[in-house]
Copies of this chain bind each other. A is one copy, B any other.
Amino acid sequence: MAVVNRALKYDGTVSAAVTVDLVIFTVREASLRVLLIERGKPPFEGGLALPGGYVRVGEGLDQAALRELAEETGIDGRELHLEQLRAFGAPERDPRGRTFTVAYLALGPDLPTPVAGTDAATAHWVPVEAALSAELAFDHLAILKEGLDRARAKLEYTTVAAAFCRQPFTLAELRHVYEVIWGIPLDPSNFRRKVTKAAHFVEATGESRTPEIGRPAALYRRGSAELLFPPMPRSADGDDASV
C-alpha cells in the first residue's frame, strides 16, 4: 500500500480504493425487495451486504455499476433504471483501510433470481422491511435507507414507477408499484385519471389482458416522459416516520 502513495501524493491527502455499491429494488409478491448478497470473504464474511465491487482502471463510475450489475445478477442493466445516489467516504467505513464507495440505485421489474457472482456467495431478494432491521456490512444500511428514500421520492415527480413493470402492463400493476413502495393504498379510479391524463406517462397499446377473474384490463407501455407534472400526490401523512 505504501508503494501506492508514490510520488503522486505529497502531504496528508488520500489515495484510496473506490468501489460501487448497488441498491437494486424490485416489486415482487406485494413487497418491495432489495438484492442482498452473503459475503463470501472477509471482512463481514457470511454477513449480508449490498452487491458491489471495485472500480477498475480505465472504467467510469456508471460503467462500473453496469458491470457489477451484470456480474452479480446476470441482468443487462440497459433494461432497468440506473442512477447514482451519492458517494460515501467516512474514514472508518471499511476496516481494511480507506475506501470510498459510490452508491447506485437500480429499479427494475421482477428480476430473475440472480446467479452467484464472483465475490458473492449467494444472493437473495430480501423484503426491505427485513433488510432495514438486518445487520448489513459496512455502511450499507445507511446506503439502503437513502436508496429507499430516493425511490419513494422519485415516484412522486417522475415516471420511474413504470420501470418496475414488465411491458406491457396494466394500470393496476402500475398502481400496485406505488402502493407497495409507499405502503399506502391508492384509489384506483383517481389513479387512473391521473396517469392517463398526464402527458406521455403511459400509452395504451390498444390490447387487453384477461385475468383469471375479473374484467380484462387494458394494456399500456411506458411513454416518453421522464418527469411527471403535476406530481403524483402522496397523501400528506408521510410514512417517512416509519423506520
Contacts and interface: CB of A to CB of B under 8 A. Distances in A.
A140 B158 CA distance: 27
A15 interface: yes
How many copies of the polypeptide does the oligomer hold?
2
B61 A98 contact: no
Nearest to A91: B58
A6 B240 CA distance: 45
A8 interface: yes
Contacts of A57: 5, 12-14, 91, 98
A234 to B, nearest CB: 9
Nearest to A87: B87
Interface string A9-43: 10111111110000000000000000000000000
A187 interface: no
A9 B54 CA distance: 10
A185 interface: no
B55 A89 contact: yes
Given A14-B54, A16-B15, A55-B14, A97 B60 contact: no
B89 A61 contact: yes
A130 interface: no
A18 B7 contact: no
26 contacts: A3-B7, A4-B9, A4-B15, A5-B57, A8-B96, A8-B97, A9-B17, A11-B56, A13-B56, A14-B17, A14-B18, A15-B15, A16-B16, A18-B89, A18-B100, A57-B98, A59-B91, A61-B100, A84-B87, A86-B102, A87-B102, A100-B100, A100-B102, A157-B157, A227-B240, A231-B231
Interface of A: 3-5, 7-9, 11-18, 54-61, 84-91, 96-98, 100, 102, 157, 227, 229, 231, 236, 240
